[in-house]
Structure 1
């Protein structure tokens, strides 16, 4: 897989929480492919929920490096995940923008890689290789959606895609009947980046270094799937501890702000995350268990391991196989007990074991498996074309 031009329709902004889409596209660009990374479109209603979106550029291309460009699409109509006719209209607008951008760049796409079920209505040439990477249970997200509409679009997308992927075993089990060739490709870690947390010379940011120890922390979006009541109970039980949350906040956090030993530090750049992880004595994945999170394979799990940190997580299906290297809790008393135990029993030997486990689950290893499948499908389809091309 060299010399391809990939259009990636992502569920997260390039500059957002650095995760699956950005990792894979960075790896493929580094291997000699070009990537047009498409930020998720917003609608005319989106700024009502998040006023910061008013500042976001629209119908705009920016350069990351010589092989990666990022496109912020035009603003679209709301209710596309409720009414299919609205979605078809929106996807025609998006397609026109993509066609214009590719023409201006002089790029001819050969692969469309999508994370969004509604892109099934994007009018694409049938000569393009289509990859659907299912990383979430989209019907379980809150907001302006109709489950039947989203489920129907995803079902059609699975049927149309040449390569189908999923990030979690639970998702694989629920989707495999829709995609007989579905490939399970779990999330991973940029091990080289996050094991910087083990380097003695790396400085811990003052906002963590100055806190009373031990410091237990969470890195990720502070959203409604985070169990704030659980964290508040831990903070009250151990007022001598410091609890740190690193990431953007998009839900009410009144219960946490009221506690003096809970510190919300906001979003930090991907480049600085190893230094923040170095300042933690314990890393947490305190997710509620529900329809959405049961299908989540948390990227932060692998990043915590790559940083050598002890981990305490809720009983997520994708986390269970990593026991006993990480501690899993099922209720509030267990959460407190596991935190106390992991803090008391940590050692350099355990940290080394976590790093070895992270190395077995790197993004590079995941990408190699996916690349093999895509290369195979490209070969099959190009032979069908007869002239060696795979685009119109």
Structure 2
């Protein structure tokens, strides 16, 4: 099924919605000019939509798989997010949508475009598409279109790369603004014929509430569920799947005594490579490791702040190498020292915020050097400064400003009344 979670954020727990954040109260139409975000695939989509909704009316569309995309009259009430202008709206989607014949996809897309247009001024409402499969919806949309792509989906192991590349090309043609999350994805889209003038690279980010008032001088207290762990602690936070270099991790653990290795995230995703799968299993059974299992996205900052050193041990593979490292931005906000392998192209240019290592020995030596220096690499202030420019609110403001330059009618609602104030500096 095409609507599997995108790889960059599969490590986050995404229930229907966090009950502490979302209420089930129905919401009427507040404005005829809205931003539609199509669709909710993972937490990144929810984070962007929430940030956009800080200053504008947003409808985030959540697919509900059905055998038939009807009847429309049975649509569930919108879910309203407390304290914001975000509504989450379900829509029926045919099972196996991506495998339908082109004529059937075209019919479903025209129906979906009409459904999005109901109750809003479609000519002046923005459609933000998060996956390429809705190219026909973008082509049918009468208002401004943004293509926001956080993963090189054509590189997925089970993807029909040729068909998806065709949708990417159509999406780029239909969009007024194209927002890949990395330079690598931008280059791929240009290979599909995307006009470079349409492109605005928007990397992943963190919540503004994750920012600290000042860089940490020492690790924060350990969360209650891991308070028993002995320090020093090396922390790996994120999806613990096949895009991690498990054989390197295993060797680094052996060479980095007396470090405890903490793994926060889902570890039940299948790893196709047998040696890597076996290495993960051995790491899970190691006496100096702790696996917490998945945690809510909003809770990750407590773990990121508590580690002595953050480790981002990526294996170089697609689509990970071409993406934007979500965990980098979570650790950036926590300001603790970071070590990473060069498995994500984006990280190659992030020194000195993160130190790159290529072998288990280099990783162990870097950890021991940090321990000898009291886990102060002298870059905590730089990470703190960089985090101020790497929030989802900032990304939403950048998207809005970039679209306004290309489609002036897209400056909607409160944006025209109160210009957004952005911090000075170079975005991270």
Structure 2 length as normaliser, TM-score?
0.73
Find out whether 1:227 has 2:245 as its counterpart: yes
Query: Does structure 2 conserve the Cα–Cα contact (< 8 Å) formed by 1:117 and 1:153?
Result: yes
Output aligned runs, 1:148-227, within 5 Å.
148-177=162-191, 178-180=193-195, 181=197, 182-195=199-212, 198=216, 204-227=222-245
How far 1:263 moved relative to its partner?
A: 1.9
Find out whether 1:247 has 2:274 as its counterpart: no
Output aligned runs, 1:372-391, within 5 Å.
372-379=401-408
Which one of the candidate residues 290, 295, 315 is aligned to 1:263? 290
Q: 2:306 and 2:251 mapped to 1: Cα distance?
A: 22
Output aligned runs, 1:80-95, within 5 Å.
80=98, 84-85=102-103, 87-88=105-106, 91=109, 94-95=112-113
- The equivalent of 1:48 in structure 2 is none
Find out whether 1:23 has 2:47 as its counterpart: yes
Q: 2:170 and 2:406 mapped to 1: Cα distance?
A: 19
Deviations 1:330-386, CA, capped at 9 Å, x for gaps: 23332333333334333285322221122243334333332112123332689xxxx
Q: Which moved more, 1:330-339 or 1:214-223?
A: 330-339
Find out whether 1:341 has 2:355 as its counterpart: no
How far 1:241 moved relative to its partner?
A: 2.1
Query: Does structure 1 conserve the Cα–Cα contact (< 8 Å) formed by 2:113 and 2:140?
Result: no
Query: Does structure 2 conserve the Cα–Cα contact (< 8 Å) formed by 1:74 and 1:94?
Result: no
- The equivalent of 1:330 in structure 2 is 358
Deviations 1:110-131, CA, capped at 9 Å, x for gaps: 1110110001123764422111
Alignment CA distance shift 1:63-1:349 (3 Å): same
Query: Does structure 2 conserve the Cα–Cα contact (< 8 Å) formed by 1:92 and 1:123?
Result: no
Find out whether 1:9 has 2:29 as its counterpart: no
How far 1:30 moved relative to its partner?
A: 1.0
Q: 1:203 and 1:313 mapped to 2: Cα distance?
A: 23
Deviations 1:46-78, CA, capped at 9 Å, x for gaps: xxxxxxxxxxxx967422235212234335222
Query: Does structure 1 conserve the Cα–Cα contact (< 8 Å) formed by 2:57 and 2:86?
Result: yes
Alignment CA distance shift 1:336-1:41 (3 Å): farther
Which blocks of at least 5 consecutive residues in structure 2 are unaligned?
A: 1-30, 68-74, 272-279, 412-428
Cα RMSD (Å) of the superposition?
3.2
Structure having greater relative contact order (Cα 8 Å, sep ≥ 6): 2
Output aligned runs, 1:100-139, within 5 Å.
103=118, 106-109=119-122, 110-122=125-137, 125-139=140-154
Alignment CA distance shift 1:130-1:336 (3 Å): same
- The equivalent of 2:276 in structure 1 is none
Q: 1:263 and 1:94 mapped to 2: Cα distance?
A: 45
Q: 2:109 and 2:370 mapped to 1: Cα distance?
A: 49
Q: 2:219 and 2:231 mapped to 1: Cα distance?
A: 20
How many residue pairs get aligned? The number is: 356
- The equivalent of 1:292 in structure 2 is 319
Q: 1:60 and 1:75 mapped to 2: Cα distance?
A: 17
Q: Which moved more, 1:60-69 or 1:193-202?
A: 193-202
Alignment CA distance shift 1:312-1:244 (3 Å): same
- The equivalent of 1:319 in structure 2 is 347
Which blocks of at least 5 consecutive residues in structure 1 are unaligned?
A: 45-57, 383-392
- The equivalent of 1:281 in structure 2 is 308
